[in-house]
Amino acid sequence: MQAGRGNVKPPLGVALEGDLAARIDAVLAVAMLNGFAAKMESRTIALCTSRSGLKTAQFVDVIAGFYAPRPVGGVANIGMAEAHGAGDDAPPLAATLALKNAEGGPRYTSNMKDLRDTADNAVLIRNILLAQVDQNAATVLAGPATGLVHLLYLFGSRPQIATKVKHLVVAIGAFPSGAAEASVAADAAAARTLFAEWPTPIVAVGSEVGAALPYPASSIEKDFAWSQAHPVVDAYRAFKPMPYDAPAPALAAALYAVHPDDGYFTTSEPGTISVLADGRTQFAPGANGKHRYLIADPAQKDRVTKMYTDMVSAQPVPRGGRGRGGDLE
């Protein structure tokens, strides 16, 4: 929930929905939001997965618990899109959950026993937004748009989104035009609806930004020495043979969502993003458009990379009864 002290507005609340089973940059974005929370720059108000499957849900529960320890037996309030995606087909996450500690027991344990421990992601985000100060929330998408379109069609959600959400930042597509990107192609109809009907400004982060500003493998090798077992590090290693630098549009999206005015990126002129029949995205400039796309600035690459590595490798937020209610960070 949102809790301020006196008339002081709390940090921006960020709701993240991502395909953590298929996108390591979505996993990295969860860690980045922890880093922002540690610096009191944002709050993670909802954590949702685009894919329906027990292994995915259990991994999200593990990573949420790593950053915000829960009472014994408790589970995180995880949102999940209903019946979308590849079910339990999440090999990197299953491999991470199967790791053993030095004593031969599980390295990571989820308290989540079945999918009934999850919430529908659209309902979760809607309910969490109700508690936010007007224009003090942002939504980040790094996966298919199915769940956010479901949110649009919940009773009363559109005026609530317009009132509470400052902007939606989507790490999908390629801009100003390019090949069909996997998260759009997974549900092109939903992506088309999202761009056409979402009531707030949308900033898109295309695959070209992710390729220009990857997360460096060198950080995975050296920046997490403070933890003997880290689910983000182990998931990163499970996604692909090391070493590899991971294209990271979700990190750019999370960074822009929290710090849109700090000069890390440039943005396009206003316009409208459409989704073509084959899943490609296309941007048409127009003064009255509600959409923009991010542009990687080569002069800012070192600065962006340092922010990525500093925030992703940040330690969990100290817990101390700061009165944040339902926040996940």
Q: Count CB neighbours of 279 within 10 A.
A: 20
Distance separating alpha carbons of residues 31 and 20, to the nearest angstrom = 12
226 phi, psi to nearest 5 deg: -70, -15
pLDDT digits (tens, 9 = 90+) for 272-321: 999 998 899 999 999 999 999 999 999 999 999 999 999 999 998 765 54
Domain boundaries, the chain: 12-49+119-312
| Residue 99 near residue 107, CB atoms below 8 Å | yes
CA atoms within 13 A on the CB side of 311: 28
Among 12, 26, 19, CA closest to 129 = 12
Per residue in 179-220, pLDDT (tens digit) is: 999 999 999 999 999 999 999 999 999 999 999 999 999 999
pTM of the model as a whole: 0.92
Domain 12-49+119-312, CATH 3.90.245.10 — does that match? Answer: yes
- Cα angle 198, 204, 210 (rounded to 5 degrees) comes to 150
CA 24, CA 47: separation in Å to the nearest integer? 15
Query: Would strands 265-267 and 291-296 be described as parallel, antiparallel, or unpaired?
Result: antiparallel
Q: What tokens appear for 215 in the block?
A: 């997360």
* pLDDT at site 78: 82
At residue 29's C-alpha, the angle toward residues 26 and 34, to 5°, is 140
Q: Say whether 282 sits in a helix, a strand or coil.
A: strand
Report the alpha-carbon distance of residue 83 to residue 61 in Å, rounded.
19
Q: 14-68 pLDDT, tens per residue? A: 999 999 999 999 999 999 999 999 999 999 999 999 988 889 989 999 998 898 8
**Please, which residues have CB within 8 angstroms of residue 249's CB and are 6 or more apart in sequence?**
25, 142, 171, 172, 205, 206, 207, 209, 210
